[in-house]
Amino acid sequence: MIRSSSQCTIRVDVDDLFQYAMANPRPSGIQRVVHEILSVLEARALTHPQQPRILFVRCGRNGDPFAEVSWSDIADLFSTLTGTEQTVTGQGGIRRSGQPLLRQPQFGESLRRTLISKFQSMPEDIGKPLLASGIAQMRAIRLLRRCFRPARNRPAASHMKEAPELFTSDPKPFSRKTTSSSRKDVFLALGAAWCDPLFSERLHRAREQYGVHPVLLIHDLIPFRHPEWCDPSLVRNFQHWLRTSLPYCSRLLAVSSATARDVEHYATEHGLELPSPVPVMPMGSGFSSIPMQSQTIPVGLPATGSYVLFVSTLEARKNHTFLLRVWRRLLGDGNQADIPTLIFAGRVGWMVRDLMQQLDNSDWLDGKIRLISDPTDEELKHLYQNSLFTIFPSLSEGWGLPVSESLMMGTPCLASHSSSLPEAGGQFARYFDPENVTEAVEKIRDLLGDHEKLSFWKNEIRTGFTPTSWEKSADMLLDACLATSCPEARA
């Protein structure tokens, strides 16, 4: 295909996906969202009237802010996180299924993942410092390698970090000759860019060297607005990222109206001039790595209809302690045999030491609360589809993926009414005050005591809920990028 000289190039940052994989065995919600958007972005660009060129990029090894990454590299990486075989969307939107993408990890990578899993299985006060120390040592080793690299290969900015070696093959640095008019190029960051302490330096170099227009998708401002719920290192990194990156972005986008309002308030408080109200990306529903149909049933899961499900990392903001109080009240007021088991599905995060001690001391409420740590995608599907209903009492969210995911699976969700969660659940979820134990107990009792009402609710979801496609998410992002850099696309 012959490319027009006025065609926009959108460089989509995937560096944080590879950085995340260095320290985590399973993807979080942000990584899943980014992967779903990336999987359809090239095909949607080809059908867009402006037909922008899509390039996936990472931080280069020699100080260049951009090094090209193939879609197969991204799919391969994600398959190692989910433990599933991925369907690859090639150039032109051609889908190739059945192709094995799992590669054998090198010895160093295998050892690193083993150590990470071991540290995460330890008690928090032991495993967490060991994990942090290990990550810090890996970063220090990379910086030392850069310092002692021969001068002819050393980048001008010697403090730039080196990209981790997670490629099957080496990334390809960009040649500036291959770009279209630099004034029409966009640098699109979709994920957890705040995890890179040098992201703002990379952003500055990208603007100076390539003249790109940075466009940033913001998932939430929770570490800034509510630092009391976050790990101190996250608070520091996130607030530094806000101060040093947002002023250099040409456009800010948000995953929900609640997040958009938070971003606009932040801009007002800090004197940032936004060209327009922050656009909201329609959030897709469901994940391709979680199959909707399967012939196998994972072993070790609770019996169908015997439990209520809470999918989330265990951390203070998610409000697991609240549900411990709710279930204690339910068990104290009625026949224990009539109270379903509460399933926590997720990994143990930060600031939950007291919660874990309470659960251990009470023998997990005599087995009426159970933790399924780091469930596989197959296990998650069965947990969603076979629960009585799901519950999500989070105090604050940028969107609320477990709410929309539950509805996608045809399962009712009783959710907190805070922040963006009513956007995620709409008319198909039911809501409660996440700080009112009595209200939550009453709503749960009502559902448990009226099976006909619960069945009607399930049928309402399965016949009326319309999931948002990831193609719609990608279309909005393309429109926003083109409106930022290409005046002819604004009409």
Report the Cα–Cα distance between both ends of the chain, in Å, rounded: 25
Taking the alpha carbons of 295, 301, 306, 310 in that order, is the dihedral positive or negative?
A: negative
pLDDT of residue 223: 96
Tokens of residue 253, six digits? 């986008």
User: What CA dihedral angle connects 420, 425, 427 and 429, to 10 degrees?
Assistant: -120
186 contacts 210 by C-beta, under 8 angstroms: no
Other CB atoms within 10 A of residue 274 CB: 15
pLDDT of residue 287: 77
Q: Which residue, chain included where needed, has tokens 């290409």?
A: 486
378 contacts 298 by C-beta, under 8 angstroms: yes
Q: How many angstroms separate the CA atoms of 111 and 117, rounded? A: 10
Radius of gyration of the chain (CA): 23
484 contacts 186 by C-beta, under 8 angstroms: yes
Q: How many CA atoms lie within 13 A of 391 on its CB side?
A: 25
Q: Which residue, chain included where needed, has tokens 């990486």?
A: 77
Which domains occur in the chain, in start order? Answer: 9-284+470-489 (3.40.50), 307-464 (3.40.50.2000)
Q: What is the DSSP letter of 398?
A: S
pLDDT in tens, the chain (491 residues): 444 557 899 999 999 999 888 888 788 889 999 999 999 999 999 999 999 999 999 998 777 899 999 999 999 888 888 766 444 333 333 332 333 233 333 444 445 545 655 665 566 567 666 766 765 665 555 455 545 544 433 333 333 333 333 333 444 443 333 334 444 799 999 999 998 888 999 999 999 888 999 999 999 999 999 999 999 989 999 999 999 999 989 999 999 999 999 999 999 999 999 878 999 999 998 877 666 555 567 888 999 999 999 999 999 999 999 999 999 999 998 788 899 999 999 999 989 999 999 999 999 999 999 999 989 888 999 999 999 999 999 999 999 999 999 999 999 999 999 999 999 999 999 999 999 999 999 999 999 999 999 999 999 999 999 999 999 999 999 999 999 976 554 43
Name the pTM for this structure: 0.80
Q: How many angstroms separate the CA atoms of 372 and 380, rounded? A: 10
Of 407, 336, 402, the closest CA to residue 367 belongs to: 336
- Please report the beta strands in 351-469, taking only residues with DSSP state E, as ranges in sequence order: 369-372, 390-392, 413-416, 430-432
Question: Edge-to-edge, what's the strand order for the sheet holding 430-432?
Answer: 369-372, 341-345, 307-311, 390-392, 413-416, 430-432
401 contacts 407 by C-beta, under 8 angstroms: no
Q: What does each C-alpha distance from 487 to 163, 273, 315, 483 come to in angstroms?
A: 34, 20, 44, 6
pLDDT of residue 106: 42
